[in-house]
Structure 1
Amino acid sequence: MQFMSSWATDEKRTLLHFSESTLETFYQHVQANDGDCEAGGLLLGSVHGAHMLIEQATAPTAYDKRLRYLFERMPFGHEAIASSRWIASQGTVRYLGEWHTHPEDHPHPSGLDRSEWNRLSARRRDKRPMLAVIVGRKSLYVELVPSSGYGQAFLPVT
């Protein structure tokens, strides 16, 4: 299994790159076995015009709710990491979105995913769309989600 590190929207106006450590966090939480629970966390990184560099994905904490077909991120732990990265980077590394796993080879968002993403996007202080990533067993689903409706899906750049 090899997730691609570079992604782009159809017209290539928006590019994003996942760091090696971000991809490593994704690999560590793939639901490869029948008993594996969903995992997830925050996506932290920097914005360069329309483009994004995802530098870190926070790992699930002991406080998060993890079931086979559900992941609910609790604020404890994740927000402290995001705050410390923001301060240490003097505001260049910030919250860009959320990631979680699905127990399927090629994941797609559920209705619950969509409503949660729209809610989280609407709460963003910088009013930017939220980056949403679903980690499947063989591929990623990557979308830039506005506060209402569907966003722009990304495709791997080969």
Structure 2
Amino acid sequence: MRFINAWKDPASERLVYFAPQVIEVFERYIQGENDAEAGGILLGYVRGIHLEILEATVPTPKDRRLKYFFERLLDGHQGIAERRWRDSNGLVRYVGEWHTHPEDHPTPSGLDISEWQKLAASRRDGRPMLAAIVGRQDLRVEYMLSDGARHRLYPFSGQ
């Protein structure tokens, strides 16, 4: 496993755990030199203020994928989210988004930030939206709050 699976927001003490199968999806879609960006949604359990991410959906044929652009379309991803929510009696839910960048140490673009702000503001539960960018060597993990504030998360070792 190349990527760290436990993350912490030092501002709020919120923890995020990515299950091994989520890390496997991230690693499968690391963006090579000539690859298009990939992405999907993050599904998991809300455990108080913490998150346990169980699934990262993979790109569908209807998503728009270019070298420096990914647009997730509702077809496919929305259906998976609704099935997981229904099958778990409402315990597994949408918690955020992930996508790749063609850089070793990814940073969000202006478009990423504006899209995250829209998604966070539209959340009915008032919780922050989790965003993960998969780079070639690192993950960038952030919370986007409904007021537009961003909190960067950092690898957490349990110490």
TM-score (norm 1): 0.96
2:6 aligned partner, one-letter code: S
2:128 aligned partner, one-letter code: P
Unaligned stretches of 5+ residues in structure 2: none
Matched, 1:66 2:84: no
Q: What are the equivalent positions in structure 2 for 1:14-53 lying under 5 Å apart?
A: 14-31=14-31, 33-53=32-52
- Give the percent of matched residue pairs that are identical in Structure 1 and Structure 2: 52
SS at the partner of 2:127?
Answer: coil
**Counterparts of 2:148 and 2:74, CA distance in 1:** 25
1:65 aligned partner, one-letter code: R
Matched, 1:135 2:134: yes
2:10 corresponds to: 10
**Counterparts of 1:146 and 1:11, CA distance in 2:** 12
Residues 40-87 of structure 1: CA deviation (Å, up to 9, x unaligned): 000000111110000000000000000000000000000000000000
**Counterparts of 2:87 and 2:135, CA distance in 1:** 32
SS at the partner of 2:75?
Answer: coil
**Counterparts of 1:88 and 1:6, CA distance in 2:** 26
RMSD value over aligned CA atoms? Answer: 1.1
Please identify, of 8-17 and 134-143, the stretch whose mean Cα deviation from structure 2 is larger. Answer: 8-17
Residues 105-151 of structure 1: CA deviation (Å, up to 9, x unaligned): 00010100000000011111112110000000000000110123332
Q: Structure 1 runs of 4+ off > 4 angstroms?
A: none
Q: What are the equivalent positions in structure 2 for 1:82-101 lying under 5 Å apart?
A: 82-101=81-100
Unaligned stretches of 5+ residues in structure 1: none
